[in-house]
Structures are given as structure tokens and as C-alpha cells.
Structure 1
């Protein structure tokens, strides 16, 4: 039997419940590759059904582990890990790949005057130091040991503007477990939103929407971070939404089926929400989607299988009606573009080419 390729994941925060990109990718690849997972930072809110992993914080400890397992490939998630994976790969002489996400590429966009002023005034804050570090380490993508970076299609222009070789950028939709969520059976009537309670998601808009439709049931599947603050806002409005604390990712499929619509929210001024996996998962489950029109690329992600809105008030008329059948049907097709089984070859082809 042919020996499996050995791949060492060098990541942070595993197994974090909010990092479902990583979870989905690992579940799709784990049986076909000899995968070793190294997490350099513990998770805040771990999920239960995770793979074995090593918690190693020092580079030498990771190099010692690599000397034992002799990986063919190193792999990481997020561009803010380039400052570690690049030098590590160089010292070990092992090629590497990266899957980028939203915040680590959208932070490369040219800002308006307000954004540029904020960058200057807040340049010494942890957030902007992280952005500066990403920019300073993008050169590692052009290194001969970097096989490529998987990125959302909208990210290509930002990466190229910072000098990243276009041949190193592999366009890829978000990875979801399509088979887990796909269901054409009838959906419930409730409205949902989900995600991390952080400023860029502006979930206060979701509460505002719920106050405009008191006869509807609104559910929010909230991830840690600032949930307590949002609960206070909800209470001040008379608790128009139900806030549910984190549910195991593998248990979310039946939750989607309780709902007719997903209303995703975002701060229009920040405009840093990317292509949320929840949108494709909802489409696969037959849920209609409404997503804020914060950038032109949002329409590419939604396709003809949902609505984009310019204000939360616009959503009121949309979600008072059932999801149009043609939009629901289009959603099953659009979500398939995010199926990890359809595009996992984009990263594994790089691995096999390097191992020849």
C-alpha cells in the first residue's frame, strides 16, 4: 500500500469552536493523509469531537517533533502565521501551504480617509500591530518553499497589490461539509443569525430587526466573545431575540432546519465581514439568506440564491414571506461551490506535486 503523505498542521487555538473552516478541512483530509496537529495556543472555547493534537509553544519543540515524524508538508491557517511558518519551513527545509481567511486579507484593502487616520492613531494597538505584521511577512508567500495560499476570490487583488506572485494565489470558496447540511425537506418558520459577537458583525442590527417584527421568532447562535454585552442590549429592547450559547458544530444541521431565513449582519462602515460559512451552510439546508451589501464581492458569494440589503429595514419585507422556491433551489446549487469535497484538491494537489 502506498505510504500516505505526512502533513504537519502548525496552527493556533485548536480546537476552537469558531474555527469551523479548519475543522471541516481536517475532517475531509484526515483519513487520506498522515496528519499531525500542532496547536501553538490553547482554544478559548473548544469543541468536543476533535483530533489528537500537540500543544507546543516553542519553535524548538516543534522542530524536535518534526524531526521525529519527518513531515513532507507543513500547513497553516491565517496569514498572521506567516511570521512563524515561513522561518520554520526555511529552517526545516520543508515546503508549506497556507489557507487564508477573511480578516487577514480584508485588512490589506486600501482604506478610506477615516480608515487611514485610524491606522495612524491606533498603530500601536494589538489589532493594528497584527495587521502590520501580516503585511511585513507576505513575502514568505513568494518564497520557493511556499507552494501556495488558498484565498477567497476577492482577496486576490489585495494580495497582488502587496507584491504576492499571482501564481501562488489559489482562488477558493469557503470549505463547508455540504453533505452534513444538505436537506431539501421543509424548513421551520423562525429567523436566525449566528457567529462571533464582535463589532464587525454588528448584531445590534439583528436585535433592531426583531423589534420591527415582534410576531416572528428570532434566534441568535452566539459565539462567546461579547455575548454578555449583547444580552444587555437585548434586555433593554425587551428581549426580542433568543440568544443560544455555542452549539457543537456537528449538531448545527437540525438547528438550520428550524428556520426559514438567515439574516446575517455586519457593520457597513468597517465592511470586514468576509464570506461566512454560515451562509453556504444555510443555503445547503434550504434556508433563505439575507446578507449586508458591504462590498461588491458579497453578490458573487450569494449568487442568485439570496438577498443583499443596504439597510436592516429593507429586510423586514423580505422575511415576512416564505423563501421563493427558485431562490431556495438556487441555494442548493450555490452552496455546492463551498463543498470541501469539491475543492479539497486545490490544496492536496499542491502537496502531491511537491512530494514527487
Structure 2
């Protein structure tokens, strides 16, 4: 597969070319998902990870993900044989057309790693980080030559299944780089959103964090168990959220009056609920209570079978959504 990016150049970034090879730097859970996904879209993937045994684990992970990707639909020229492994990051990115970095969430590690990527990758190649919360401006401090080509391309786990990618520019990111990143992710079948400016945690993780704050508080105050809270979301609003976002769902709940009706009638009590939301500190005691709660909820559940069941439902959900042209 060749991904052609045809946006007009702007800023200081060099003119883009065709994307046929993606470097995946870091092959843990997220990196392995990305590698499998890019292979499934018919791209060549050069992966690298310094951990002992990383190549064998990656190939096993890709093989494990492949049945799911087959169900979702492979590109005509997709093949696991298009995966190669480099012993170091510089070698991995030297001939790549796009770089997807998935290293640890530590500034010092990112700076050392991106210094290598900045030196070895061609100047026009985008350096996209899967960072779940670090600011791209902070990551770009490791790129003395071309900070303008650094962007966050944050996927959601599992990245070989979930379509969302958050594309976040830093202070020095060229607008054309953001355009190209969005175009690339779109071309390979992802559903990117483009943030107008950086913020810690981006968008989706901040929304999750808000929910976790109240969920942790409810457990901490003894109002509900971990299992009850999971059931409340998984068998309640989470079903609707899997189809439409919070604003669209709220709009539909207002009937003919839509969101305006909801805001008039439920806005005041919602503000009261906001004022009553818990403020929690993740103390060792609370952490122990949460871990014990999830242990009780999943007691006797096989981890691998649970992951497979989750992914199977996601497969069917994504297929059902794709078959509904009226969904945004």
C-alpha cells in the first residue's frame, strides 16, 4: 500500500512524499498494536525496541492480533512478512516515511530517544509520539534540528482495533505537519481528531480522568463497589457512548427540543451535581481498595479470554457502526 499525502507545504517542514514504510519505535502493548495495524493496511513496518527478546515478542503479538485484523478487513497487500526488526532506533527510522514512537512516558527518555530520531530520520519525515499525556512541545525539546516535525499521534488501546487517534501540535509544530499527520491516519483507516492546542492528557484521557475521579471517590466513600460502577457504565451510558459522543447523546435525550431543552431543564441540577463531585487523592489505602475491588469483580475470569471477548465485541460494534451511514 502507498499512502499519498497531497497537502500543500507550509511553515518550515519539507515537502512530504509517499508513505510506504513506517518505523514503529518501542514495541510494548501500544507499539505492537500499531505494528500489526500498519501491516494490516499494507505498509512495510520497521520496528525497534531495546528490550531483550523484543523481536520474538513482537512477532508473537502481531500473529495474535492478526485474526482480529482479518475480521476487520485487510488491505490487499497486507502481510506479516512485511515486518522487519532493527537493532537500534536510528537504523529503524533511517529509511522510514513516517515514525510512530511508543517509548516510556518519561521526559528524559523521550528527549534522549527523539534526539536519535531527529538525527537519523529524513528532515521531511513526521515524528509522531503515542504519548498519552506528555505535551508535544516538551517532547520536541529532544529535537534540536527539526522540532517542527514533532506531533503527538495518540491512539487508544487496543490501537489495532480502536479507530481514534488524537493529533496534537506543539508550539513549534508546523501546521502542514499536522495536516499531513491527520491525512495519513485517515488514509490508513483511523478516525483522527485535531486539537487546536496542546493540553496535558489531550482530550479523551482528560474525559476519562474526570470519570475516574468520581468513580474512585464513590468507592472511597463506600457508596458503590468497583463492580457496581463498572456495571453502571458498561450496562448503561457506556452503551450509548459507544455509538455517539456525550453531546450528541445529550442532544437526542432532549427529544424535539434537543440539547437546548436539556440545558434549560437539567442544567441547574447538573451544576449542583458538579459541586458535589468528589475530590480524591490516590492514597495507598484507596489504591488497595480499588485493586481488591477489581480482583473481586474478575475473580475466576481468564485474562486472555476476557481480552478476546472484548475485542470480538468491538469487532462487531465497529462493523455495525460502519454499516450505519447516518452515524457521524
Tell me the TM-score range normalised by the shorter chain: 0.3 to 0.5
Bigger relative contact order (CA 8 A; separation at least 6): 1
- TM-score, structure 2 length as denominator? 0.38
* Structure number with higher helix proportion: 2
- Structure with greater strand share of residues: 1
TM-score (norm 1): 0.36
